[in-house]
Chains A and B, each alone.
Chain A
Amino acid sequence: MTGDLINKFFFPKITRHYLLRVVLVALVTFIIFKYVLIPFRIQGESMAPTYVTGSFNFCFTMRYLFSEPAPPDIVTVRMAGRKIMLLKRVVATEGQSVEFREGDLFVDGKKVDEPYVSGKSKWNLAPAVVKPGHVYVVGDNRSMPAESHVFGQTPVERIVGVPLW
C-alpha cells in the first residue's frame, strides 16, 4: 500500500488532470514568490546586528495593506524596482521632527530608546521634519560616520513590505 503510494507520488500517470494541477501549482508559486513573498539576500552591514550580510529572508508585501508603516518597523524600500531594495528601520512618520545629537536619536525633541542599535557613533544632524506621505528610516548599525550611512526620509509608496522574520 505504502509502496504503491510512493510509486504514485514519484511516478504519477501523466493525465490531463495531473498536468492541470502542475500548471496551477506553478502559477500560484510564481504569483506568491513574485508579488507576495519576495525572496531576498541581505548584502551590507547597515542593519547589523539585527540582520547580517549574507542572510536570507522574504519580503512580505501585504503587511501594509490595511495599515501604515510605524516605528520601530523594519521595512524594505525599493529603488528603481524590487530587484535591489534597502532594508531599514522606521524611526518617525510624517510631521514628526527627527534629530541626532551625539549619536542619540530624538523624535519630536524626545530621546528615543533604541536597544537594537549597535555601536553608536557621534552623529549630529539638525532637526528635520518628515514630509507628508513620508517616513524616516535609518539602519541599526550606526558605528560608521553619518556621511557613510544611507538614511533619511522616503515616500511611503517606496516601501515594499517587511522582512518575514
Chain B
Amino acid sequence: MTAYTPDPSTHVLGANLGQSQEQIRPGNPAKATRHARAISSFRLWLLGVVFFGLFAWIGVKIVHLAVIAEARGPLKVIEYVLDGPADEHRRSRVEDRVGRILADNVYRKAAYANPSKIQDLDSTLAGLAEIFPDMNISELASRLSDRNRSFVYVRRGLTPQQEQAVWNLGEPGLNFLSEQHRVYPKGNLTSHVVGYNDIDTAGLAGVEAYFDKSLQQGVAPLQLSIDVGIQHVVAEELAATINHFEAPAGAAILLDANTSEVLSLVSLPDFDPYNPASQSQAQLRNRATYETYELGSVFKVFTLAAALESGAVQLDEEIDVTGPLQISRFKIKDFHPHNGKMDIKTIMSESSNIGAAKMALRVGNRAQKRFLNSLGLLTPSEIEVQEVSTPRYPGNWKKTQTVTISYGHGVSTSPLQVANAFAAVVNGGVYRPATLVKRDPSAPLNDGERVISERTSAMVRDVLDYVVKEGTGGNADAEGYRVGGKTGTADKPSRGAYNEDARIATFLGAFPIDDPKYVLLVMVDEPIPQEGTFGFATGGWVAAPAFKRIVERTAPMLGLEKVVPAEGESD
C-alpha cells in the first residue's frame, strides 16, 4: 500500500495561477500562506468591485428614471393615452367643416355562445326569445345544438339593457365581446357623401370607402368640406321641389367657386346608412357624382366661354339665328324661334340652340373637345367618393357632334363635374378639381389650371347676370343677392332617341355674380308640369325657383352681405 502524496505540480491554485514550482514549495509554509491570503483578498476585492459596479449601475438607472427622465416629461405611454387616440384600432371620425360629427365608432357589446358549454339549451333559448323578440329562435337553436362549434354569434350591437338581460340568464355558455360599431349621427342627410360601412366597419361607399385605409389607421379625424347646416337647407329645398313636381329624383351641389370645396352635395332619394342592404337601388344611386346626364343648355356657358376665349365670337356681335339650322340630316330648332340676327347676350338669355351651334362651329370640333377636356368634363371626377363614373362622349367627334354638344346633348357627365367646370369659368378662369376635404384656410390656394382669361371670365359673368335679369333664369333672381346663371332643360335619351316627355331640368349659377364666391347647381330628374308653372317643367320653372330659395337661405349663413342696388337699378 502506498501512502498518498499530493503532487505539487497538480495543485489547483498553483496550476490556475500559473505559479512556479519553486514559489509553492512545501518547504516554505509561511510564504505559501501569505500568498494564499493575497489571492483570496484579491478575489474579494474583485467581487466587491463587480458588485459595486452592478449596484451602482442600478442606482444610477433609478436616479435617471426617477429624476432626469421624469423631468423630461411623462412616459411615452401616458403621453399617448392623454393626447393620442384612446384606441389605435378605432376607425377615425368623420367631421363636417365646422367639426360636427358625421361618422364615428363606439364600442358596443356582442353576445356570443359556446355551444359546447351551454348547460340548459331550452331555457337559454326561451330567455333569448324574450330579450330579442325579433330573433329567429329556431335558426339559433339549430346552430347552438351543434356541439362541435365553439363560437356562435347570438346578437351584435347590444344595448346596455339587452346586455344586462343576457347576463342575467346566468348561462355559462353565453359570453360577450366588445365590437366597434359605426354611428352616423346625421343619418340620411349626409348618406351620399359619407357612405356606409359593413358590420366589421370596412367602408363600402362614399368617403368611407374612398378613405377606408387611412380611416382604418385611426389617425386624426377626417374633416370634410361639407357644412351640415347648408346641407340641410339644400336638401330641404330640393326635396320640396321634387315633391312639388312629382319627380323621382334630383341632385344639388354647392361649391366654393374659388377653392372648389364642396359645401353641400345632395342626391335624392337618399338612404339610411345603418341599413343600406334594405334600400332600393334608386336610393343608393348617387346622382351628383355617379350618374351621368346630358344637362342641356347649361353647356352653352362652356360654348360661350370657348368662343369668347378663342376669339371666334365677340361679345358685341350678332349672329343670325333664323331656323331651322340643317346639319347633316338633323334640323336644329329653338324653343323660342327668332328670325334674323341676335346678340350674344340674347342668344344666352333666350337659350338659342342655333346661336350656340353657330358659335361652336366657329370654335371647331377639336378646340371644343380640348376646351371641355380642360374643364374636366371628359375624364372621371377626382372627387373623394367611391361612386365616380366616366363621362360619355362621342368617339367620332365631328361637325354634328360639335353642334349638339354646344347646347348640351352628346356629352354625358355627372352634375358635380358640370358645377366644377362652371366654377372655373366664372371664378376668373382657373380650374381646381372639386374636393370633399376641407382645405386649410391658412394655406395658400393651389395655382390650379388656367382655362380661360380673367377677361373672358368677366364677360361670361356679365352674360349670366343678364340671363337672370332678362332671360330664362328670371325665377332664380334671389332677393338681396346678385345671382347669375343658366337654365337647362334636356330631353332624356331613351332607346336611341330623345324622349320629349322625360326631361332633366337644371339651373346652374353663381352668387354674387360680380365676384362669385359660390356655385350652385340644382337638377331635377323628370319633373312633371304643374298648374303653377303653366304646363312647363323647364329648368327656368323647376330648378331656378329652388336655386333662388337656396341662395336666399344659405347666403346669410355663408356670411354674404345683402347687395344694395345701385341708383337706377331695380332690386
Q: Do A and B bind each other?
A: no
Which A residues have a C-beta under 8 Å from some C-beta of B?
Answer: none
Which B residues have a C-beta under 8 Å from some C-beta of A?
Answer: none
